Amino acid sequence: MELRESVVSEVRVRRFGRTRRALQVAVALGCVLVVVGCASARPGVAAQVGSSRITLAEVDAAALDLCTAFLPQIEAEGGTYPLKVLSGFVVGSLTRQSIAEQIAAARNIDVPPGYDEQVGAVEAAAEQIAAGVRDTYTELSVAGLYADAITQEAGRLALAEEGTADATPEDQVARGREVFAEWVADHTVEIDPRYQLAVVGGDVVTADTSVSVAVGPAALAGQAEQLDPAAAAALPSSQRCN
């Protein structure tokens, strides 16, 4: 089964069928935070990304929706899935999306040609997902597409400004990651320690292994294969999806 927001005054961010107004941000150097062992000091906040705030309530609700979306596959395979992995995927996806949104706003970057078609393909594939959680599934899938699209487009534009107009897609992505890293170095990016995530080089990685987190539902599904089934099954029912 293929599952699949420097200076910004304010940005409207759509989160799981709701619209919220992000905080105004003053121009200041932020801290790039690898958050293991650090106090968040932001009650109720899963991640603070520049001017954008991702709440614990948003993450919990989205993780439960993903659980519902994945449940038929999980049941068919007779397995189980830790909710913390789903929560980490949500936080990672929304953090990458927020960084991309704020870079795009600051640099006037539009999504490249072909992006709308990719979104359409995700929406079509999501028709197989239960209607009650389809929007969450689609929005998280599109979050990854958007971050990837802005990464490459930011890289393409930066290289063009530097005199390289015929860069390969790989070079564009590599340069785009540098643009993201530069933005992160100048802004506050804090992720609650419980998720064991960090922003390194402009990308979201697991803080303990420096391996990129799953960036799409298909990758997330593949990550499940690396989990210890016995350990997952031993978790309290409130901490697992099955």
> Is the C-alpha dihedral spanning 139, 143, 144, 149 positive or negative?
positive
Model pLDDT, residue 45: 95
Model pLDDT, residue 9: 28
Find out whether 21 and 239 touch, Cβ atoms under 8 Å. Answer: no
Model pLDDT, residue 216: 54
How far is Cα 205 from Cα 189, in angstroms, rounded to an integer?
13
How far is Cα 52 from Cα 8, in angstroms, rounded to an integer?
10
Point out the residues of the chain with pLDDT beneath 50.
Answer: 1-15, 17-39, 41, 209-212, 215, 222, 225
How far is Cα 157 from Cα 147, in angstroms, rounded to an integer?
15
34 - beta bridge partners? 198
Model pLDDT, residue 214: 53
Instruction: Calculate ∠ Cα 21-23-25, nearest 5°.
Output: 140
Q: Which of 66, 206, 50 is nearest to 58 (CA)?
A: 66
> pLDDT tens digit string along 45-67?
999 999 999 999 999 999 999 99
> pLDDT tens digit string along 16-37?
543 332 222 222 222 333 333 3
Question: Domain 12-227, what architecture?
Answer: Orthogonal Bundle (1.10)
Extents of the domains making up the chain: 12-227
The whole model's pTM is what?
A: 0.76
